Amino acid sequence: MRNLDMAYLVLSAVLFGLGAVGLLVRRNPLVMIMCVELMLNAVNLSFVTFGVMLDDITGQVIVFFVLVVAAAEVVVGLGLVVAVVRRKPGATADDIRLLRG
């Protein structure tokens, strides 16, 4: 294992940890979506690093699918959150619970 690969894995773990802490601590739904995106990108970084380390393209293919799913998640989730925040400025994650029906 090269030092550069190890640095990418450590960076991935740090980014994932920051996203997890942000998701657990923050109450603003927009910030929570950004934290989820940070966690997804951290996992993507680790997939690419492992793909390079193992000389296998599977990790990069998985990253492609994760990016597509993340884009769809952002479009739907961000649309819902922006609609709630427009109706009720200063909305928190508890206010999103109202969408339950």
For every residue of the chain, DSSP letters joined together read --HHHHHHHHHHHHHHHHHHHHHHH---HHHHHHHHHHHHHHHHHHHHHHHHHTT-SHHHHHHHHHHHHHHHHHHHHHHHHHHHHHHSTT--HHHHGGGG-
- Could you read off the pLDDT tens digit of each residue along the chain, which spans 101 residues? 688 889 999 999 999 999 999 999 988 888 888 999 999 999 999 999 999 999 999 989 999 999 999 899 889 988 988 888 888 887 787 777 777 76
Q: What is residue 101's predicted lDDT score, i.e. its pLDDT?
A: 65
